[in-house]
Amino acid sequence: MNQNDIQKAIESGKTFLGIELGSTRIKAVLITEDHSPVAAGSHEWENRYEDGVWTYHLEDVWTGLQNCYAGLRAEVLEKYQISLKTVGAMGFSAMMHGYLVFDQHDQLLTPFRTWRNTMTGAAAEQLTELFQFNIPQRWSIAHLYQAILNKEAHIEEIHHLTTLAGYVHWKLTGQKVLGVGEASGMFPIDSKINDYDGRMVTLFNQQLGERNLPWRLQDVLPRVLAAGCAGGTLTVEGAGLLDPTGQLQAGIPLCPPEGDAGTGMVATNSVAARTGNVSAGTSVFAMIVLEDGLSKVYPEIDMVTTPSGKPVAMVHSNNCTSDLNAWIDLFREFTQAIGVEISQASLFETLYQQALAGDADGGGLLSYNYFSGEPITHFEEGRPLFARSAESRFTLGNFMRTHIYSALATLKIGLDILMDEEKVKVDRVLGHGGFFKTKEVGQKMLATAMKVPVSVMETAGEGGAWGIALLAAFMVQKKHGESLEDYLAGQVFAAADTATVNPDPKDMEGFATFMTRYKKGLTIESAAISALK
């Protein structure tokens, strides 16, 4: 669209707004009916560690949202000379999981406990056994049950349990709802009905009955909505919360609030069965959309859903690029010491490209990128380390390839459960995140690890705010009976600029050799944790 067309679209409200609250940044994206971003705003924020709890203050939520929206509105005014007053629809997403509970007077009962807290081990273990379904510590139901086990004073007063995205949506619309993908990080979902699993709700309520609590689970959980459903409309009070200047008009429809995993799937067109996406940066996780559920419980695999309710297997590794980045910083120190000027981008490009010249198995080198613990390999702590034998081929190419392999190795162990034990089929994977910034290198290594073609899209960098804006657009623009999968494939990504790399048989054989060495060497990591206190 040209400048004049964009101006007309904004004036007539034929745009869609998405805002996502990430762990360090709140981002807003405004898109037109053809799904192109035309303006953005952002606000940096940080979680707090208070009284042993990772949290965000609710006033920080609203300050951040207001600043983010103000930045978007200012950019619209600067670029298009228009005061933004309305949009065709909007949506909100945020970090999944966590614990926000309110009483019957809508008062917060305890500070917001985010996904980052690991205080729910007993509850997660007991619920996994009760449900025969993996309940991670970060899930909302684990936080709720841990509070019950701890006999916390507030539990009898609970009237409403929600997530950060659900809280924002509730305050803007008055509706206590969640998108099904976000809800799947609160409590297990039955994908046949796109609602909480009834058998597990009954089992949980039996536990409540033994403790004589005055409420039942279905009374306090938000209502579940699939993508495309109406999530309510912006109230007068909600409009004032988001835009204190009073320019934003009430009555704007909102799509169901979603979690960052769901918006990531939408933004990478990874919502159809046998597709997946891998987000790789400080941490790395893979989301694989399944044709059917898994045959049994695996503690290494979280089961969530797409925003349309399809079952998704999530494999999450805490550590990815931090160790790689530390080594590249060391090389940067060396270039500075000898008086060579090179940009950070060029240094990354040069060193990552060297990995392609390394031996397929990494030349017998070994590294562990564990800055923190790894549940998949059963480490509660981590120690970054590098090891080799006297016979190893210690070259720069092998050094870089080994560290890139290491960034994917723990993820690979989790994915092997899906591929080898559950025989899950994956046709294509979309990679996004800092790991893939250097052309082809991260792509090639991930294709090697997963044994499937890996693509990178130009639009993947738009992130979750764009993803929730797309869900708002889908709610308004979908044809009768059109699925989210068909809408994204036909209306959004049909002409997307995509680069695809296929796995190389020689590299796959070399990576298998590396993984054998990696698994055997985990005893070295154990020794390092014991020795390096």
Convert the pLDDT of each residue in 55-72 to its tens digit.
999 999 999 999 999 999
Nearest to 136 by CA among 307, 413, 376, 381: 376
Q: Please say if the pLDDT value at position 161 is more than 60.
A: yes
Distance CA 329, CA 24 (A): 22
Residue-wise pLDDT tens digits, 433-449: 888 888 899 999 999 99
- The alpha carbon of residue 284 and the mean position of all alpha carbons in its chain are separated, in whole angstroms, by 9
The average pLDDT across 341-352 equals: 94
| pLDDT at position 462 | 64
Distance CA 299, CA 3 (A): 52
pLDDT band at 458 (very low <50, low <70, confident <90, very high): confident
Q: How many residues are present in the chain?
A: 533
Percent of the chain with pLDDT over 70: 99
230 token code pair: 């109406």
pLDDT band at 459 (very low <50, low <70, confident <90, very high): low
| pLDDT at position 116 | 83
| pLDDT at position 460 | 54
Question: What's the pTM value of the predicted model, to 2 decimals?
Answer: 0.88
| pLDDT at position 246 | 96
- The alpha carbon of residue 435 and the mean position of all alpha carbons in its chain are separated, in whole angstroms, by 15
- Bridging pattern class, strands 428-432 and 454-457: parallel
- In the chain the domains, ranked by start, together with CATH numbers, are 269-466+494-533 (3.30.420.40)
Percent of the chain with pLDDT over 90: 86
SS3 510: helix
Distance CA 316, CA 374 (A): 9
Q: Please say if the pLDDT value at position 31 is more than 90.
A: yes
What integer best gives the mean pLDDT of the chain?
A: 95
Residue-wise pLDDT tens digits, 88-145: 999 999 999 999 999 999 999 999 999 888 899 999 999 999 999 999 999 999 999 9
The residue to which tokens 């979280």 are assigned:
302
The answer to whether the CB of 355 falls within 8 A of the CB of 404 is yes
| pLDDT at position 496 | 84
- Bridging pattern class, strands 189-190 and 195-196: antiparallel
Distance CA 323, CA 330 (A): 11
Nearest to 14 by CA among 38, 50, 45: 38
The answer to whether the CB of 277 falls within 8 A of the CB of 268 is yes
Q: Please say if the pLDDT value at position 461 is more than 60.
A: no
The answer to whether the CB of 401 falls within 8 A of the CB of 513 is no
The average pLDDT across 303-332 equals: 94
Report the amino acid identity of residue 2: N
**Who has greater pLDDT, 456 or 462?**
456
| pLDDT at position 283 | 85
